[in-house]
Amino acid sequence: MDSVKTRLKEQVKALRTEAIMEAANKLLAEKGYESMTMDEVAERVGMSKASLYKFFPSKEDLAAQAMVKVLDQALALIDDLRDGPEPNPLQCLRELTRWAMQTKLDGEMPSLPAQNSSLSASLMAHEPYVERLLSMSLKLGVWVAQAQSAGQIDPELPTDFVLYQLYARSCDPVLGVMKEDGRYSREQILDWMLQVQFEGLAPTLKRSTS
């Protein structure tokens, strides 16, 4: 009987933790780390701030865990793409970028911290976050190198520059502006953003010959 109660408590705790991180993710996407408060997180999940601190001892820890969750989702997608039949490196980079932008449009992508923010320093001291970020960068770096060897990406571009360009799409303000405009569908916004990111502003061959 005690073991059943223990499992139930663990399940309830896991559900509450998930709800807290989901609320934090949305607030980080909407307002950014500096403007988000623990009071707002507690209010969104319907608990007191004192109870919230029992799950996460600080705002920095909560934000770090929220970032880790997003990185875990990205790493899972990377592994799925790598395991696909004859993965095309450039197409894999496009798919991951599309997922990141889609997550941003859905209001579930935490804004990347500024270099001089207190969150940035906390994240660099948060081992799970650093481990996942390095893992993702290494895996994406392989795709970049393969795409460069295949002539799909300019081989003169440094790998870290290409990665920064891809990471930047997850917090690109153009996504929010286009969404708020209301004239364009989500798919149109994603397709156009991907086109400009990977092919530039020049007309595509299909459009040029039509």
How do the pLDDT tens digits run along the chain, 210 residues long? 677 777 888 888 889 998 998 899 888 888 888 888 999 999 999 999 999 999 999 988 898 888 899 999 999 999 999 987 878 999 999 999 999 999 989 888 887 666 556 777 788 888 999 999 999 999 999 999 999 999 999 999 999 999 999 999 988 889 989 999 999 999 999 999 999 999 988 886 554 443
Whole-structure pTM value:
0.85
Contact between 23 and 41 (Cβ < 8 Å): yes
DSSP annotation string for 94-114: HHHHHHHHHHHHTT-SPPPPP
CB atoms within 10 A of CB 123: 20
Quickly tell me which residue has 């970020």 as its tokens.
133
Q: Which residues of 49-66 are buried (b: 16+ CB within 10 A; e: fewer)?
A: eeebeebbeebbebbbbb
The Cα 171–Cα 43 span in angstroms is 25
Ordered domains of the chain (ranges, CATH): 58-209 (1.10.357)
Total residues belonging to the chain:
210
CB atoms within 10 A of CB 28: 26
Work out the burial of residue 89: count CB atoms within 10 Å of its CB; fewer than 13 is exposed, 13-18 middle, 19 or more buried: buried
Residues 6+ apart with CB under 8 A from 53: 38
Give, in degrees to the nearest 5, the angle at Cα 111 between 108 and 37: 85
What are the φ/ψ torsions at residue 139 (nearest 5 degrees)? Answer: -65, -40
To the nearest 10 degrees (0 to 180), the angle between helices 89-105 and 186-199 is: 140
The Cα 21–Cα 4 span in angstroms is 26
